[in-house]
Amino acid sequence: MTVRLERRGAFAVLTLDRPEALNALSFAVLEEIGTRLDKIAGSDARALIVTGAGSKAFCAGADIKELRGRALTAQRRGIELGQQTFAKLDTLPMPSVAVINGYAFGGGLELALACTFRLATPNAKLGVPEIKLGLIPGYGGTQRLPRVIGEARALEMVMTGRTVEAEEAERIGLVSRIVEGDPVAAGIAFAESFAGFSLPVLGFARAAVQRALTVPLVEGLKIEADLATLAYQTQDAEEGMAAFVEKRPPRFQDA
Ligand code: CAA
C-alpha cells in the first residue's frame, strides 16, 4: 500500500508512503489517493491532514519513470486522472491541510495546492520544475498557483522551475505558516483551530472565498449574499448567536 489512511482522533490522515521514490505519484498512487478521498468524504472526520512518509519529501511529483514513451491519448488520460483526483479535495465536506515536510515538486505541489491549507516544515522545498523536463504542470498547477500567489510569481515559478524554500513560501503566501516538529501533529494542531466550528458553515466560508477568484466581483458578492443567508438558516447559527448572548461556549451540531 503506497497511500496510508489513518484516523487520529477526530481527524483523517492521508500519508503518501513511497519514500524510496520520494513519494512520487505513480498512476497507481493517484488511483489510491482517489479511493481514499472517496472514503474520507463519507466519513465524520473534522479535517483531513495530507503529508508524506519519511523525512525528505512530501511528494516529488509525477513518477517521471512512468511518464516516458506513452501515447498522447494515454498522457491525456493521465493528466485528467491527476486533475480529477485532486479536484476531489475541492468538494470534500471537510477542510484539508497539506503539511509539506520536504520536497513538494510538480504534482506534489499541485496536490498541496488543491488542499484548503498548506503548512511547511523548515526543510520544505517547493517548486514546479516541469519546464526542466520539457513539460508544464498538468495536475492543476498553472490554474491554482496564480490563484494562490498571483500571476507574476506563478509565471516566475512555472517558467523558471526554481525552488522556493519554506521561508519564501510563507512570505509569498504559498504556505500559511512554517511548523516545527512532527508533521502530522503540527497538521492536527492547526486543524484544531477550526475543527470545533460548524462543518456546513465552514463549507460555506470555504466556497465563498474560493469563488472570489473565479467570478467577477458583482457575481461574487451575490454568491456571498446567498451563502451568508444560508448560514443564517442553520441551527448552528442560532446556537452560536444564542451562546454569545448567554455568555457560554457554543455547542455546534453540524446542522
Ligand atoms: N519520479 C520518479 N522517481 C523519482 C522522482 C519522480 N518525480 N523524484 C525522485 N525519484 C526517485 C529517484 O529516481 C531516486 O530513485 P533511484 O535511486 O531508484 O533512482 C529516488 O527517488 C531518490 O531521488 P534522488 O536520488 O534524485 O534524491 P535527491 O535527494 O538527490 O534529489 C530531488 C531530490 C531534487 C527531489 C530529485 O529527486 C528530483 O529532482 N526529482 C524530480 C522532481 C520533479 O521534476 N518533479 C516533477 C515531476 S513531473 C510532474 O509532476 C508533472 C505534473 O504536473 C503532474
pLDDT, position 151: 97
pLDDT, position 101: 98
The total number of structural domains that make up the chain: 2
* Residues 30 and 71 both lie in one domain: yes
The answer, yes or no, to whether any atom of ligand 1 lies below 6 A from the CB of 111, is no
Query: Phi/psi zone of residue 70: left (φ > 0), alpha (ψ -120 to 50 degrees), beta?
Result: beta
| 34 CB within 6 A, ligand 1 | no
Q: Is residue 89 part of a domain?
A: yes
**Under 8 Å between Cβ of 116 and 96:** yes
Q: Rounded distance, CA 237 to CA 234, Å?
A: 5
Q: Cell numbers of 148, please?
A: 494562490
Shared domain check, 131 and 49: yes
- For ligand 1, atom 13: residue with the closest CA: 21
Note whether 74 and 180 are same-domain residues. yes
| Residue 185 lies in domain | 3-191
- C-beta of 105 in contact with ligand 1 (< 6 A): yes
Residue 155: CB partners within 8 Å, gap ≥ 6? 146
Residue nearest to atom 14 of ligand 1 (CA): 21
251 inside domain: no
Measure the CA angle with vertex 46, ends 145 and 199; round to 5°. 85
Mark whether 69 and 20 lie in a shared domain. Answer: yes
22 pocket-lining for ligand 1 (C-beta < 6 Å): yes
Tell me how far the alpha carbon of residue 103 lies from the centroid of ligand 1, in angstroms.
9
Contact 139, 62 (CB under 8 A): yes
In a domain, 254, yes or no: no
- Give SS3 for 77: helix
Q: Are 133 and 111 in contact (CB under 8 A)?
A: no
pTM: 0.97
- Mean pLDDT per segment of 10 residues, for the chain of length 255 residues? 96 98 98 98 97 97 96 98 97 97 98 98 98 98 97 98 98 98 98 97 96 94 98 98 98 97
According to the model, what pLDDT value does residue 1 have? 84
